[in-house]
Amino acid sequence: MSDVVVLSNVSKEYPLGKLVVPALKEVSLSIGAGEFVSIAGPSGSGKTTLLNLVGCVDTPTSGAVIVDGLDTARLSERDLTRLRLEKLGFIFQSFNLIAVLDTFQNVEFPLLLQGKQSRKERREVVSELLERVGLDKHHHHRPNELSGGQRQRVAIARALVTRPRIVLADEPTANLDTGTGGAIIDLMKSINETQGTTFIFSTHDARVMKHADRVIRLEDGRIVSSGDIAPNGAAGSRPELSVQEGPAPYLAGE
């Protein structure tokens, strides 16, 4: 199977006044197509930093980030933007919907940026996706008229509308209650299973982690365990594995 994301010896340092804060230290990692991967680790361990690098919204201090076979260091700002538009989907912790647009328009937005499809095609794709995420009755609701779970569904639909190869989600359930969070992960999982989209998401929540094929653990900017790569992206016995690996005291402390 092909790797859609490869990180080799990636370090990231943030300048903080005169100091430099090392957020990632010599991280190497590869994620195959169709995986459903969770990034776990305590606060400040570098989860967001890692996702930002994979998402091409940030650049590493050293090391190489290869996304879908492309070395991101060689791409221009414009090309990186293009790459995000075509190959990546984002699900944000705070949903990040465009407040002045309604559900339909929010989901449609990336398609408009691409400008490849006709109005009719867009309508079909968006409607289908909204049905899929259970929002076929909410086309014309503005974000502030939706609940948190509904908003995140809109965000998921938006992330998927361009049929990206990889969907990145930084703590997608952090702002949701447990039940809703579970449903969101279920939704993501089912899309992963039916469409083969690669999902990489970070979380603190052990119950969320259970759904992952594989859990990559970070601590202090280093990978402490990168789990097993699932043979075919199916869940199988992975959840147990994850739970076993998860350090109980840390989870309890969250």
Partner 1 sequence: MILLRIALRNIAATKVRTLIIGLLITFGTMLVVVGGSLLSTLDRSMARSIIGSVSGHLQIYDSGARDALEFFSPPTGTPDLGQIADFPKVKAMLEALPEVDSVIPMGSDFAMVFSGNIMDVKIAELAQAIEKGDRERAKTLAEHVRKNIKLLQESLKGLDGFVNLDFNREEREEDLANLATAASDAFWADFLDAPAEKVVFLENKIARLAMDAKMLFLRYIGTDTEAFRKNFELFEVVKGQMIPPGKRGFLFSEFIYERQVKNQVAMRLDFIKENLDSGRKIKEDPKVASRIQQNMRQYKEILYQMDARQTEQLCARLREFLSVDEKEPEKLLEQFLDMNDENFSARYQFFYDEIAPLIVLYQVRIGDVLTIQSYTRSGSATAVNVPVYGTFRFRGMEKSALAGVYSLMDMMTYRDLYGYMSPDRRAENEALKAEKGVKYIPRSEAEDSMFGSDEGGEEAAPSADSEQGPTSEVAAPPAESGSERPSTALDEFADVDMSEGGQRYGAELLNRVYPQSEIDSGVVTNAAVRLADGVDLEVGRAAVEKVLKEAGLPLNVVDWRQASGLVGQFLGVVWIVLFSAILIIFLVALVIINNSMVMATLDRTREIGTMRAIGAQRSYVLKMFLIESTVLGVGFGILGTLLGSMLIVFLGRVGIPAVSDELYFLFAGSHLYPVLLPGHLITAFVVVFVVSLASTLYPARLAARIQPVKAMGKED
Integer Cα distance of 146 and 120 in angstroms = 26
Judged by CB under 8 A, does residue 120 bind partner 1? Answer: no
Torsion of CA 185, 186, 191, 193, to 10 degrees: 110
Q: Which of 4, 10, 23, 215 binds ligand ATP (CB under 6 A)?
A: 23
Nearest distance, CB of residue 206 and ligand ATP, angstroms: 14
Judged by CB under 5 A, does residue 45 bind Mg ion? Answer: no
Judged by CB under 6 A, does residue 14 bind ligand ATP? Answer: yes
Closer to ligand ATP by CB, 21 or 73: give it: 21
Nearest distance, CB of residue 176 and ligand ATP, angstroms: 16
Judged by CB under 5 A, does residue 48 bind Mg ion? Answer: yes
Nearest distance, CB of residue 16 and ligand ATP, angstroms: 5
Closer to ligand ATP by CB, 23 or 155: give it: 23
DSSP the chain: --EEEEEEEEEEEEEETTEEEEEEEEEEEEEETT-EEEEE--TTSSHHHHHHHHTTSS--SEEEEEETTEEGGGS-HHHHHHHHHHHEEEE-TT----TTS-HHHHHHHHHHHHT-S-HHHHHHHHHHHHHHTT-TT-TT--GGGS-HHHHHHHHHHHHHTT--SEEEEESTTTTS-HHHHHHHHHHHHHHHHHH--EEEEE-S-HHHHTT-SEEEEEETTEEEE--PPPSSS--TTHHHHHHHHS-HHHHHH-
Judged by CB under 8 A, does residue 13 bind partner 1? Answer: no
Closer to Mg ion by CB, 198 or 202: give it: 202
Number of residues engaging partner 1 in binding (CB under 8 A): 35
Decide if 47 contacts 39 (C-beta within 8 A).
yes
Number of residues engaging ligand ATP in binding (CB under 6 A): 12
Closest CA to 34 of 214, 205, 208, 203: 214
Nearest distance, CB of residue 96 and partner 1, angstroms: 4
Judged by CB under 8 A, does residue 90 bind partner 1? Answer: yes
Q: Which of 25, 82, 204, 222 binds partner 1 (CB under 8 A)?
A: 82
Binders of ligand ATP among residues 28 to 47 (CB under 6 A) are 41, 43-47
Binding site for ligand ATP (CB under 6 A): 14, 16, 21, 23, 41, 43-49
Binding site for partner 1 (CB under 8 A): 48, 51-52, 55, 57-58, 77-78, 81-82, 84-86, 89-90, 92-94, 96, 98-101, 105, 108-110, 112-114, 158-159, 162, 170, 174
